[in-house]
Amino acid sequence: MGEIRTVAVIGAGPVGLAAAAHLLERGLDPVVLEAGPAVGHAMRQWSHVRLFSPWGYDIDQAASRLLAPTGWNSPDPQAYPTGGELVERYLEPLATRTALGSHIRTTARVTGIGRVGFDKVKTSGRERAPFELRYRNGAGDETLVADAVIDASGTWFSPNPAGASGLPAIGENAARERIAYGMPDVLGAARARYAGKMVAVLGAGHSAAGTLIDLATLARHAPGTGIIWLLRGDDPAKSFGGGAKDKLAARGAVGLMLADLVAKGGLRVETGFRVSRIEPADGAVRIAATMPGGARDVVVDELIVATGFRPDLGFLNELRLGLDPALECPKALAPLIDPNEHSCGTVRPHGAQELAQPEPAFYIAGMKSYGRAPTFLMLTGYEQVRSIAAELAGDRQAARRVELVLPETGVCNVTASGPASGCCGGPPTSDASACCAADEAARQAGAGGCATQHGGCGPK
Ligand SMILES: Cc1cc2nc3c(=O)[nH]c(=O)nc-3n(C[C@H](O)[C@H](O)[C@H](O)COP(=O)(O)OP(=O)(O)OC[C@H]3O[C@@H](n4cnc5c(N)ncnc54)[C@H](O)[C@@H]3O)c2cc1C
């Protein structure tokens, strides 16, 4: 890498803004490009959802240092904000009251990134060429030249489809009028759409659980509201999570509430339901599933698809990427977050080294860095960008240091065996002293650390 001065940050979500704060603190010049009309554009789409992590886990340290002299009223670290409150009380002040303001361009959607004068094939001298970012605003196509790029554009706007094979179900696109993706505000802005209707929710994660609980509340006040929970898997209990063992208590509580709802028959559960076709049916919609035992279908007024998200890699086409073929995340991260291996929310902190790409000075951070894996925490993203900013500023020691203890979730189902799996999902990388802060503390106290003693930070 040559000397780094200007760093393009894609996305003004919590992680993109934290990246900009760390870069600024290190004397670099961040330029944040945000597709939406205001910061926190993705989070504003789920502003009604209460976070399961309290304020203490939601604020980046560098951002906090920028805010402190502005007279910012920092929120109670124990309280749980909604997405809307996080935007209003943290992201907006950060973008309007601090030096970051002049570094943010809104309504600026990045549509492509290349290297100035180099197409993807050309190698010699490539790493010395700056990046060229093409973005679109109200005035048309614009170009930004930058020495480094951090893509923190999240995944909210590219939800997974309903189809069980990863492709949209036959008819899914045509039935869009009766389908919502993610977490619609069924008790607020979208109440009229769902009250008194038969509603199916497809998915097994936290978003599906939260929506099912909200629909059950709606059903108590709006007679005629019916709920069907469609699950691809065979065991609803897998969605109940760590319950009381989850150190993020609010997340554990969602699982317990869902378990209670199912036990009391508050909703109909269809397991093993792999959606293949969605078609109109007399003013409603028929959702059909094909499975080994034969075909099944349900007819509902509305379908809410909460099957997770995937990264938009389209605008990264001209860059050389090394992504895991299944998860579409940076390769080194895949073993730590692969849901086939563990459902562990306790991923060891990681940074510039794990997130490095074959394209020098290009990083994917934040929610997008997890690709299709579902367990991302904002706090993890803050540590990622702290480390990346240090690396870009030439402070390799700080880039490699672990500065974070993540909450244990108690929801780990680790299937991999052997000592390595006892270390927050993996052993320390070759030039890091420990796999995570708890491991570091154990080693410094003379103990063997997580990988050898199965104490510390690993699943007990
Ligand atoms: C419903 C829900 C609840 C969650 N609850 C929690 C929680 O309690 N605790 C927790 O730690 N994590 C939680 N998460 C996970 C995660 O921390 C959040 O999604 C967080 O918003 C991720 O931050 P981010 O900055 O990586 O991405 P985002 O917040 O998604 O921000 C990305 C930004 O990039 C912009 N963008 C997208 N494409 C482009 C483009 N081409 N050009 C320019 N800009 C672009 C978007 O408009 C957006 O503003 C939750 C996620 C969801 C969906």
pLDDT of residue 323: 97
Q: How far is CA 101 from CA 12, 18, 21, 94, 105, in A?
A: 11, 13, 11, 8, 9
Which residues 6+ apart lie within 8 Å of 182 measured at CB? 45, 46, 156, 159, 207, 305, 306
Residue nearest to atom 12 of ligand 1 (CA): 377
pLDDT of residue 63: 98
The amino acid sitting at 226 is: G
Ligand 1 binding pocket mutation candidate from 367, 379, 384, 411 (most atoms within 8 A of CB): 367
pLDDT of residue 459: 37
**The token pair that represents 169 in the structure block:** 């179900």
Which residues 6+ apart lie within 8 Å of 25 measured at CB? 62, 65, 66, 389
Residue nearest to atom 3 of ligand 1 (CA): 51
pLDDT of residue 82: 97
**The token pair that represents 368 in the structure block:** 């997008």
| Cα–ligand 1 centroid distance for 157 (angstroms) | 9
pLDDT of residue 171: 97
Given a contact cutoff of 8 angstroms between Cβ atoms, the answer to whether 235 and 273 are in contact is: no
- Cα separation, 344 vs 413, in Å, equals 7
Which residues 6+ apart lie within 8 Å of 48 measured at CB? 82, 83, 84, 183, 185, 187, 188, 189
| Cα–ligand 1 centroid distance for 131 (angstroms) | 24
Mean pLDDT by 10 residues, the chain (460 residues): 90 98 98 98 97 93 97 94 98 98 98 97 95 95 98 98 97 96 97 98 94 96 97 87 64 85 92 95 94 87 97 98 96 84 64 95 97 90 96 94 64 35 45 52 61 42
Q: Are strands 268-270 and 226-230 parallel, antiparallel or unpaired?
A: parallel
Residue with tokens 């950060």: 94
pLDDT of residue 448: 60
Atom of ligand 1 nearest to the CA of 111: 41
Burial degree of 411 (CB within 10 A; 0-12, 13-18, 19+):
buried
pLDDT of residue 450: 55
- When computed from its CA atoms, the radius of gyration of the chain, rounded to whole angstroms, is 23
43 CB near ligand 1 (under 6 Å): yes
Other CB atoms within 10 Å distance of the CB of residue 325: 7
382 CB near ligand 1 (under 6 Å): no
- Closest among 18, 45, 33, 206 to 133, alpha carbons compared: 33
Find the helix or strand (DSSP H, E) in which 290 lies.
strand 284-291
- Cα separation, 217 vs 212, in Å, equals 9
Which DSSP state fits 143?
E
Given a contact cutoff of 8 angstroms between Cβ atoms, the answer to whether 200 and 300 are in contact is: yes
Atom of ligand 1 nearest to the CA of 110: 42
| Cα–ligand 1 centroid distance for 43 (angstroms) | 6
287 CB near ligand 1 (under 6 Å): no
pLDDT of residue 158: 97
Given a contact cutoff of 8 angstroms between Cβ atoms, the answer to whether 343 and 413 are in contact is: yes
List alpha helices for 310-410, DSSP H. Answer: 334-337, 352-355, 378-392, 396-400
- Cα separation, 287 vs 307, in Å, equals 15
Given a contact cutoff of 8 angstroms between Cβ atoms, the answer to whether 336 and 350 are in contact is: yes
